[in-house]
Amino acid sequence: MAQEKLKTRPMTMIQALRSAMDIMLERDDNVVVFGEDVGYFGGVFRCTEGLQAKYGHNRVFDAPISESGIVAAAIGMGAYGLRPVVEIQFADYFYPAADQIFSEAARVRYRSAGGYSAPLTIRMPCGGGIFGGQTHSQSPEALFTHVSGLRTVMPSNPYDAKGLLISSIENDDPVIFLEPKRLYNGPFDGHHDQPVVPWSKHPLGNVPEGYYTVPLDKASLYREGRELTVLTYGTMVYVAEVAAQEAGIEADIIDLRSLWPLDLDTILASVRKTGRCVVLHEATRTGGFGAELCSLVQEHCFYYLEAPIERVTGWDTPYPHSHEWAYFPGPKRVAEAFKRAFREA
């Protein structure tokens, strides 16, 4: 495989995302990058550092604090023929752009019978575990997966972050690209009392310097087991890993990567093998994306299931500040759910 020959170096997720945008700005003159603080300053998370200096104000620029304006301008640019990559500073602040995302970007191709399209990528840092409180911690993925016409993607490591972002930018459908900011500098398994491990110590922090892609709609079997299937994405991948170790359970940990459309085949093959399934996400439970995952597994694997499908999620409350670790679905809660999946009926 050609990709294996690429020269690699350790990158954080921030560096990997920046590298993806750098490469796509270089390869495609129609790629433009903009958002709040994205230009001169290089982004509040440094994800676009140096890009304006390298490509100029025409390609990478600062935007007013107007999420709807940013997305609307990107839709207009897409109609012109550009390929905009825009940033919403925090996923918690996408709501003012909801009409432009849901009513417009998602439907431009359908309502024009293919006459127009919206080939945009909307990057949004998401997720908790950083004492971000109510408006710097949310995981709004279910609001996007419910919308026909959108693709929703979330990487969990630098290698996937770069490859998925390049795929998303190249994709002609609108892509919501959610970046778990808790994973920007290193993997996080929910043990907040332990020192943070940097990406340089993780195999998936070794990232090719050049162009490569990770396909959309393909899940990754992050860890292979035989006793239990874990369906998850983002930060919860690492929580699942440590919880499985602590519970002494050999689990298939499936990192969905593309939330919707998703890789149903990989999910079904695993659950049919293990007969048990636990769904994990940081987002609130009711109406969360986990409900769709449970429903799909129930529908397609009913006769293979040996236990009810479990969900471990954030509570149905706004994301609190001081009670961060009581809210975040950490290894203890996850391990308990894993064990419940083996409880005698």
Q: Does 66 bind other proteins (CB under 8 A)?
A: yes
Tell me: does residue 168 bind other proteins (CB under 8 A). Answer: no
Nearer residue to other proteins within complex by CB, 129 or 174: 174
Q: Minimum distance between the CB of residue 106 and other proteins, rounded to whole angstroms?
A: 9
Tokens standing for residue 186: 């290193």
- 17/63 with CB nearer other proteins: 63
| 3-state secondary structure (DSSP) of residue 60 | strand
- Where does residue 62 rank: exposed (0-12), middle (13-18), buried (19+ CB within 10 A)? middle
- Rounded to a whole number of angstroms, the minimum distance from the CB of residue 242 to other proteins is 32
Which of 21, 75, 243, 256 touches other proteins (CB under 8 A)?
75
Looking at the Cβ atoms of 198 and 261, the one nearer to other proteins is 261
Alpha-carbon gap, residue 340 to 342, rounded angstroms: 5
Q: Does 322 bind other proteins (CB under 8 A)?
A: no
Q: How far apart, in whole angstroms, are the C-alpha atoms of residue 173 and residue 72?
A: 15
Q: Burial, 302: exposed, middle or buried (Cβ in 10 Å; 0-12, 13-18, 19+)?
A: exposed
Tell me whether strands 220-223 and 251-255 are parallel, antiparallel or unpaired: antiparallel
Cα 103 from Cα 282, distance rounded (Å): 26
Residue from 10, 149, 308, 318 binding other proteins (CB under 8 A) = 149
Q: Is 59 in the site for other proteins (CB under 8 A)?
A: yes
Task: List the one residue out of 101, 207, 115, 213 whose CA is nearest residue 163.
Answer: 213
Number of residues interacting with other proteins: please give it, by CB under 8 A: 42
Smaller CB separation from other proteins, 154 or 312: 154
Contacting other proteins within 202-261 (CB under 8 A): 217, 261
Shortest spacing between CB 261 and other proteins, in angstroms: 4
Taking the complex as a whole, the smallest distance from the CB of residue 88 to other proteins amounts, in Å, to 14
Q: Which residue has the tokens 């676009």?
A: 48
Token pair of 187, please? Answer: 């993997």
d(CA 270, CA 275): 8
Interface segment toward other proteins; rule CB under 8 A; list 147-155, 226-234, 237-245, 332-340: 147-155
CB-CB contact of 214 with 257 (8 Å):
yes
d(CA 66, CA 88): 9
**Residues 136, 202, 281, 323: which is the catalytic one?**
136
Q: Could you say which of 1, 2, 7, 64 contacts other proteins (CB under 8 A)?
A: 64
Please report whether residue 295 would count as binding other proteins according to CB under 8 A: no
- Residue ranges in 87-126 that form contacts with other proteins under rule CB under 8 A: 96, 99-100, 103-104, 107-117
Give the C-alpha separation, 21 to 11, whole Å. Answer: 14
CB of 76 to other proteins, least distance (A): 3
Candidates 22, 87, 141, 173: give the one binding other proteins (CB under 8 A).
Answer: 173
Distance between CA atoms of residues 165 and 104, nearest Å: 22
CB of 38 or CB of 130, closer to other proteins: 38
> For the chain, what's the residue count?
345
Whether 57 sits among the annotated catalytic residues: the reply is no
Angle at the Cα of 157 from the Cα atoms of 47 and 233, rounded to 5 degrees? 115
Active-site residue list: 136
Q: Note the residues at the interface with other proteins (CB under 8 A).
A: 32, 58-59, 64, 66, 68-69, 72-77, 79-82, 96, 99-100, 103-104, 107-117, 148-149, 151, 171-173, 217, 261, 264
